[in-house]
Amino acid sequence: MPQRNLMYVRETYNRFHELSFVLCCSGKDPVTGRNKVYKKTFKVPSDVTGKKQTEAFCLQCQLQWKEEVARKSKCTEPIHADMPFIDFAEEYIENILKTNPEAYHYYRTEREYLKEVKPFLAKYKLSEITQPVVQNFCNWLNARKYKKTTVTVIKSLRPILRERGLTQTAICHACAISESALNRTLNVGARSSQTTAQTLCRQLGVPLSEYFSVKTEEVPYSRSCNNNLRTFLHGVLQEAVRKNLIAVNYASKEYVRPLKGTTRSKPIIDSEGEWMKVLTCLQQMTDLRKKTAFALYLYLGLRNAEVAGLSWADVDLAKQELSIRHNTMYVAGFGTVTKGTKSANSKRTLSMPQALTRILTDYKAWWDTEKERHGDLWAATDKLFVRENGKDMNGTTLAAWLDSWQKENGLKHVTPHGIRHSNITLAIANGIDIKTVSARAGHSDIQTTLNIYSHCIKEADKEAAERIDKLLQI
């Protein structure tokens, strides 16, 4: 008699009232032949709304899970300890989107990591990934180098553009480059990409060596990059342990020596003078779109994707509150996508400073006018930041705006994430308790904040000791 797959479905909600279906399906253990219950949780995507769509999604999940359990029960899955490591890693990555349909960025990142580890691990079977192999893999990571090309402007192209009557817009169109990329090539001492420098010189018919200094050197990869690859290997092997294919995960930290690599601290706004200069330039801005985006970075320390994902439904100007519910980002192979927040704690509601509320009020009036002016050409969206036709804008564009603005005003180059660090550092330095700082930052837990900003906490602690010393002096 054929095996019947009995299915039990249970609805569950997390603390943000997001629905998931827990599916329990009866099957067979492929090794012992005994009855076994297979369980899997399917989270309902944010774009599935209404009773009919939810029921259809649940039915689709049931059919998919029944088929998967049937394969597991018959042991038709080609998973065994002697399979090539790369094949198992491929399957591990493909399961990411099946488990969480919104994990686009994680999926693409893991795919890139697999490409990087292939040269070393492609020859091994899963069962052959022993402690010596993992340690040799880590040694290989430490020894890797890549060619870094630095292109520096030694003579400005601006005089040539003036002589030939070329506007920046015209040369950007002719060379198919952005205005921010062109601006980097017009200032002596600034750095540019090699592709941009070569394209401009070819278009203008001038020698590259006269206007740009090109230096190439071999440099080791950063410690962060090496750790990411070890973490990837650890994740794949941990899945193999979970499936009882191997007994030990030798990529765990207790089995390998710490990785080496270069470290580089990212620039932040770290002085009162720099903050004053940045805020003064912000107040003088006339472009309300860019002014609002930069204000959200500076006043709230939001992530780049969080700013791009904001809708007017998330903004309560009367209560001076802003809610973070979505991330919008560009993912290679998927385009511009809007998904849930980075973690459960990243979904949060923040009180806004009055200065930010005023900027958002002005921007809302401008936004409504633009929407009315474009009429039917405007896409059906209430996103804060959209393209000229009202369609979604990703964080890459916002970061390019910030880069150009900093260059135009002679400000220190600080990325959106660097401004986030600046905001959090400023909060800690001014005595805001670490629990509040962690909650406003949207960190997964308070330990994350303590680990990243331990140096700031030590400095604040030292300052507190000095203040107490002054207060209690006899």
How far from chain centre, in Å, is Cα 337? 12
Mean pLDDT by 10 residues, the chain (474 residues): 68 85 86 79 87 90 86 61 88 89 89 95 92 94 91 91 88 81 80 88 92 92 93 94 86 88 82 91 93 95 93 94 91 82 88 95 92 77 79 84 86 91 88 88 84 70 66 60
Q: Among all chains, which residue has been given the structure tokens 């399957």?
A: 91
What pTM did the predictor assign? 0.67
pLDDT for the residue numbered 469: 63
Those residues whose C-beta lies under 8 Å from the C-beta of residue 31, and which sit 6 or more positions away, are 75
CA distance 445 to 464: 25
pLDDT, position 78: 45
DSSP for 41-108 reads: EEEPPTT--HHHHHHHHHHHHHHHHHHHHHHHHHT-S---TTSBHHHHHHHHHHHHHHH-TT-HHHHH
Can you read off the two tokens belonging to residue 132?
A: 């010596």
Query: What's the pLDDT score for residue 1?
Result: 39
- CA 72, CA 82: separation in Å to the nearest integer? 18
Per CATH, domain 272-460 is 1.10.600.10: no
Taking the domains of the chain in order of start, what are their residue ranges?
A: 7-77, 145-220, 272-460
Q: What is the pLDDT of residue 79?
A: 52
Looking at domain 145-220, its CATH superfamily turns out to be: lambda repressor-like DNA-binding domains (1.10.260.40)
Residue 460 one-letter amino acid: A
**In Å, what is the CA distance from 101 to each residue of 91, 216, 341, 372, 406?**
16, 41, 13, 35, 37
Whole-angstrom distance, CA of residue 98 vs CA of residue 92:
10
- Common-topology check for domains 145-220 and 272-460: no
